[in-house]
Structure 1
Amino acid sequence: MMEVRMLFAVTTVLAAASVAPAEKTPAAARAVVERYYAAIAHRDFGRAYRLWSDNGRASGKTLHGFTRGFTQTADTRVFTAPPVNGDAAAGSVFVTVPVRVEARLKSGLRQRFAGRYVLRRVNDVPGATAEQLRWHIMSARLTPIR
Structure 2
Amino acid sequence: MRYPKLAWATSVCALIGLAACGAPKQPDVAESRNDAAAPLVASPDVDAPPQTAAPVNVATAAAAPQPLSCAADIGATAAAERVKLCRNVSPATHPPCNAANSCALIENEIARSCALFDGKGDPMPGCDPAPKSVAAAIAVVQRYYAAINARDYGTAWAQWGDDGAPNQTLQGFQAGFANTRSTRVTIGKVEPGSAGAGSIYQTVPVTVDSQLQNGTVQRFAGDYVVRRVNDVEGASPGQLRWHIGQATLKAVPAP
Report the TM-score when normalising by structure 1. Answer: 0.82
% identical equivalent positions: 52
**Counterparts of 2:202 and 2:115 in 1: how far apart (Å)?**
25
**Counterparts of 1:74 and 1:83 in 2: how far apart (Å)?**
28
Instruction: Name which of 91, 99, 117 aligns with 1:18.
Output: 117
Contact map agreement 2:115 2:237 (CA 8 A) in 1: no
- The change in CA–CA distance for 1:17 and 1:99 in structure 2 (over 3 A counts) is closer
- The change in CA–CA distance for 1:96 and 1:138 in structure 2 (over 3 A counts) is same
The structure where helix makes up a greater share of residues is 1
Instruction: Name which of 139, 142, 164 aligns with 1:56.
Output: 164
Report what 1:110 is aligned to: 217
**Counterparts of 2:115 and 2:163 in 1: how far apart (Å)?**
21
- In the TM superposition, residue 130 of structure 1 has moved relative to its aligned partner by 1.8
Corresponding position: 1:35 with 2:157: no
The one-letter code sitting in structure 1 at the alignment partner of 2:117 is: S
- In the TM superposition, residue 16 of structure 1 has moved relative to its aligned partner by 7.8
Q: How many residues align?
A: 132
The one-letter code sitting in structure 1 at the alignment partner of 2:183 is: T
Structure 2 spans left out of the alignment, 5+ residues: 1-90, 92-113, 124-128
Report what 1:80 is aligned to: 187
Runs of 4+ off more than 6 Å:
none
Report what 1:95 is aligned to: 202
| RMSD (Å) for aligned C-alpha atoms | 2.0
The structure where strand makes up a greater share of residues is 1
- In the TM superposition, residue 72 of structure 1 has moved relative to its aligned partner by 0.6
Instruction: Name which of 154, 158, 175 aligns with 1:46.
Output: 154
